[in-house]
Amino acid sequence: MYPFETGSFAPRNAWYVACFAEEVRQELISRIIVNTPLVIYRKQDGEVTVLGGRCPHRHFPLGKSHLENDVITCGYHGFSFGSDGQCVNIPSQDHTPKACRIPQYPAVEHGMWLWVWVGDPEKADPDLLPSQEELALKSHGLIPHTMFFHEVECRYQLLNDNLFDLSHLAFLHGTSIGTLENASTPEELEKREGFVSSMRHIRDAPSPPLMQKQGRYPTDRIDRSMGMASYLPGLHMGVTDVSYPASHPQVPGEKISHNRVYHAITPSTPGTCYYHFAVAVEDGVDVDQMRHSLAPVIDEDIFASVEIEKIIALYDGDPPAELMVKSDRNAVEGRRMLQAMMDAEQAEKERA
């Protein structure tokens, strides 16, 4: 499935963001991750549990059922399931067969997110996640804030591709957070297993239109280091470090501000995905203003991705080969790693 090989949709052996951790309360949340229906809730002891979202009896969605004392009761025929997925009651009979259970999926709260693993549970290692230190969530003097959740009508990789290539800031977001330098400045690429990143060090250039309008910085021309650190398959951390340019008469090179933004892209069905957006900013930043300013920016990314999905549909999902340029190296590498993850899963499946 574009841009992957035919039959490749998304890796299953991976941590995906299912929701913001703060959203998980003692009530049921429905999600579909890599085509797998899930139901999510917080137990009375404070732990989160993630279970299969389809009642094994008649396929009713457990996420639209009832929760009481950590037990889900299916809204249709009342089969009840404990927080480990084991059926604990079938109202129409005394006997509850052991075989009646729903899968429990590995889940971990980490940073602002609840992460779920819908693949082989043996492989679900929380250490595969980037550390909070690495994500600048418990350091750098930044305060994390959740921002937006969207269900998007496009394949997840279109949003990944969006984030792999920040040259789009100059155009898709050219009236808000981007300037031409976001495209023209050379990239510093980095990669390691399950990780790609691209950084641009923009020197002595005007600040973006939105920041100018808001008087965000005490000077017109700034140095900006901007980039994206992508933890595959779907967490992208945007990095921004702003300082006075070397040409500044009083405080050359002095730091002005910095922040991180977090785009969590989760494959839902082949044609839909989830988008969780969050930030970490310095104390004193007007977070409500930031939310207001960034909402249309994220909407632009969604607009572009959904429009591309419509173009792809003209080709029955198999569009002509893309013209690749230098700024696609990061996306090419990210896609290659994702394809390799899927190939490895496929090979393992064939061996079994």
Position 37 contacts a copy of itself (CB under 8 A): yes
Distance CA 74, CA 53 (A): 10
Position 183 contacts a copy of itself (CB under 8 A): yes
Coil vs helix vs strand at 40 = strand
Mask for 202-241, x = binds a copy of itself (CB under 8 A)? ----------------------------------------
Looking up tokens 């009832």 gives 66
Of 115, 118, 114, 90, whose CA–CA distance to 104 is shortest? 118
Q: 136-175: which residues touch a copy of itself (CB under 8 A)?
A: 161, 165, 167-168, 170-172
Cβ closer to a copy of itself: 194 or 319?
Answer: 319
Looking up tokens 């933004």 gives 261
Nearest distance in Å: CB 53, a copy of itself:
8
Cβ closer to a copy of itself: 30 or 219?
Answer: 30
Beta strand pairing call for 29-33 and 142-152: unpaired
Q: 81-120: which residues touch a copy of itself (CB under 8 A)?
A: 90-93, 97, 99-100
Exposed e or buried b per residue across 26-52, where buried means at least 16 C-beta atoms within 10 angstroms of its C-beta: eebbebbbbebbbbbbbeeeeebbbbb
Sequential DSSP letters for 237-293? EEEEEEE--TT-SSSTT-EEEEEEEEEEEEE-STT-EEEEEEEEEETT--HHHHHHH
Question: Which span (58-66, 107-115, 120-128, 129-137) binds a copy of itself, by CB under 8 A?
Answer: 58-66
Identified binder of a copy of itself from the candidate list 48, 202, 226, 312, rule CB under 8 A: 312
CB 216 within 8 A of CB 184: no
Identified binder of a copy of itself from the candidate list 283, 320, 350, 352, rule CB under 8 A: 320
Of 98, 108, 85, 96, whose CA–CA distance to 19 is shortest? 108
Position 35 contacts a copy of itself (CB under 8 A): yes
CB 155 within 8 A of CB 271: yes
Cβ closer to a copy of itself: 279 or 302?
Answer: 302
Question: Which residues of the chain form contacts with a copy of itself (CB under 8 A)?
Answer: 32, 35-37, 53-54, 56-61, 64, 73-78, 90-93, 97, 99-100, 161, 165, 167-168, 170-172, 180, 183-184, 269, 304, 307-308, 310-312, 314, 319-320, 322-328
